[in-house]
A and B are shown apart, each in its own frame.
Chain A
Amino acid sequence: MVRPHRPPLARTIRRGLVLALVAILILIVLFPFYWLVQMSFKTEREAFQMPPQIVFVPTLQNYVSVLQGKFVRALGNSAITATTTTVLSLLLGVPAAYALSRARFGSDWAISLWMLATRMAPPIAFGIPFFLIYKNLELIDTLHGLIIIYLTFNLSLVIWTMRTFFDGLPVSLEEAAYIDGAGVFETFLRVTLPLSTPGLATTAIFCFLLSWNDFFYSLILARSDALTAPVAIVNFMNYESWEYGKISAGGTLIMLPVVVFSLAVKKYLVSGLTAGAIKG
């Protein structure tokens, strides 16, 4: 039996309904995000006005007061730790991923299991031992300490995603380089790496985002000097009063790089978040 031909009017209505649903969904999904951002441009009094003002004169006062305080330093700490740990993870992980891809140890399941195991561990599982070790090594409240602990999730992520990427690169170009007399190291540096820029960029963004978004490790391992932005912003929540303006402005500043970067890698987002189970 062939399905009866749908009359054009019914199809138009159906299409219209789906589009309306899509529009409502986007509104719901983006509303909390929008609410925080618009709040950051309002004065304290305007922020609490109900019904809320849709049209208002935006003020930068909240940003000015956030950027005059200690929060700037926290943003700097976040940027330094996230960048350094990304560079370190790539330096250590990319060659390892390359070796695993080319040497074919038949170790797929082992790496997969490893990825999943580190993904499963709640942050506190690493938090406790690192806290105790750092206390003895005097690494509590230092940027070095945070950079090292971020390697626990970044290094295996780099190895997994870059190995998948190298698997997809043709070996023939490398073989051509060998025939021309290039060594393993030179071939890797001159032939493979330049071909891998897209993979490297995506992986780097992932590492940066994971470290930038970290809350737990910074909460337990930093006190004041090494405090990163996600924990520093919580200090605007006092018992007696909430500094809503600063919270919303600070929150917007923290999520700005995240939104920009993740839209750049949106195609790879799901495979990056499921590393270990699905090849990207």
Chain B
Amino acid sequence: MAFLLPAAIVLFVVTILPSIFLIATSFTPFDLTKPNSLTFAGLRNYEQLLRDDRFWNSTWVQARLSFWTVSLQMLFGLGLAVLLNSRMRALEAVRTAFIVPMVLPPVVVALTWKILFTPDVSPINWLLGLLRLPQPAWLVDPTLALWALIIADVWQWFPFVFLMLLAALQMMPEEPIEAARIDGASALQVFRYITLPLLRPVLLIAVLFRLIDSIKAFPNIFIMTGGGPGIATEATNYYAYLQGFSYTFIGFSSAITVVMLVTTFAMSCTILRTLGRTVDVE
């Protein structure tokens, strides 16, 4: 008990108390510039949120960002893992190389892609020019700016999906696959009816983690686009930050954060429940 108590107390103080505090401030109109505004206002922030077009815009941006980053990461990750699932020695080199993007400090990733997407300095645009393709100003175009964020995120995190799935593939029992082959199943059928169902739990866990992280995305937006042009890339997390720390409306920002937390929690629980129904994980 003496071993457990200090950690339990610290965890309580640094995580539970702040969470309660966050929910409490979400019921106040608290504004940093008005120290006396820490008063109870009921659900007013939440009502205001429902009528706030900019909030709804942020959820739409968030939905597109999450959908595309997670699906592309899963697609590339799975495709590569299946393709490279062999005992080749060259694989070790791939694994090591693929670790680099996902451990880089987020701020470095954001700055690097900002440079790569800035016309005049961008080697990407130079290459496009060589191929006589248009050289877009990525970060100032409303559609392309979102895609620039998606590309940067997919680059950083598809290796994570790849490494997870490759590990799962290499631990997969060989008997069912051999048996199916002997029965005359084609490579595609083996993949569709044996490999994919066996991978299902790992796939779901990968989706879970990528989804959670896509909602937390911050440094890329902060550095690459600042939510712009206009509000074209203003995802919910970034909008909450702006309301709280640029406009000083802490109460309103807390309400956005609470909504975001509840949504993430609900989505994760759904994924975990699907997971629990198929296989008891681990």
Binding site for B on A (CB under 8 A): 1-3, 15, 18-19, 21-22, 25-26, 29-30, 32-33, 35-36, 39, 47-48, 50-52, 92-93, 95-96, 98-100, 116-133, 148-149, 151-152, 155-156, 159, 188, 209, 212-213, 215-216, 219-220, 230-231, 233-234, 237, 244, 247-248, 251, 254-255, 258-259, 262-263, 266, 269-270, 273-274, 277-279
Contact = CB atoms under 8 A, between A and B. Distances in A.
A216 to B, nearest CB: 6
B90 A273 contact: no
14 contacts: A19-B88, A19-B90, A26-B93, A33-B112, A51-B126, A99-B4, A125-B18, A128-B244, A129-B22, A152-B18, A215-B107, A230-B106, A254-B108, A274-B209
A234 B8 contact: no
Given A3-B181, A25-B80, A129-B21, A52 B99 contact: no
B99 A269 contact: yes
Nearest to B217: A122
B4 A1 contact: no
B21 A122 contact: no
Contact of B121 (A230, A233, A244, A255): A244
A98 B3 contact: yes
A276 B172 CA distance: 22
Nearest to B209: A274
Contacts of B209: 119, 273-274, 277
Contacts of B107: 213, 215, 230-231, 233-234, 251, 254
Instruction: List the 10 shortest-distance A-B pairs measured between CB atoms, nearest first.
Output: A96-B7, A129-B18, A95-B3, A99-B3, A262-B103, A129-B21, A230-B107, A213-B105, A99-B4, A50-B126
Contacts of A254: 105, 107-108
Interface in B47-98: 80, 83-84, 86, 88, 90-91, 93-98
Interface of B: 1, 3-4, 6-8, 10-11, 14-15, 17-19, 21-22, 25, 80, 83-84, 86, 88, 90-91, 93-109, 111-113, 115-116, 120-121, 123, 126, 155, 159-160, 163-164, 167, 181-182, 184, 205, 208-209, 212, 215-216, 218-219, 222-223, 237, 240-241, 244-245, 250, 253-254, 257, 260-261, 264-265, 268, 272, 281-282
A128 B90 contact: no
Given A215-B106, A244-B121, A96 B184 contact: no
B22 A125 contact: yes
B259 to A, nearest CB: 11
B218 A123 contact: yes
B109 to A, nearest CB: 8
B250 A234 contact: no
B131 to A, nearest CB: 13
A242 B260 CA distance: 34
Given A96-B6, A133-B21, A120 B83 contact: no
Given A100-B4, A122-B215, A273 B159 contact: no
A123 B216 contact: yes
A interface, over-half SS: helix
B233 to A, nearest CB: 17
Contact of A255 (B4, B104, B113): B104
A52 B124 CA distance: 11
B105 A29 contact: no
Contacts of B105: 212-213, 215, 230, 254-255, 258
Given A1-B184, A36-B111, A233-B107, A122 B99 contact: no
B120 A35 contact: no
Contacts of B219: 215-216, 230
B205 A274 contact: yes
A269 B164 CA distance: 10
Contact of A155 (B10, B93, B281): B10
Contacts of B268: 116, 120
A52 B7 contact: no
Contacts of A259: 100, 103-104
Given A121-B261, A259-B103, A244 B115 contact: yes
Contact of B123 (A50, A215, A262): A50
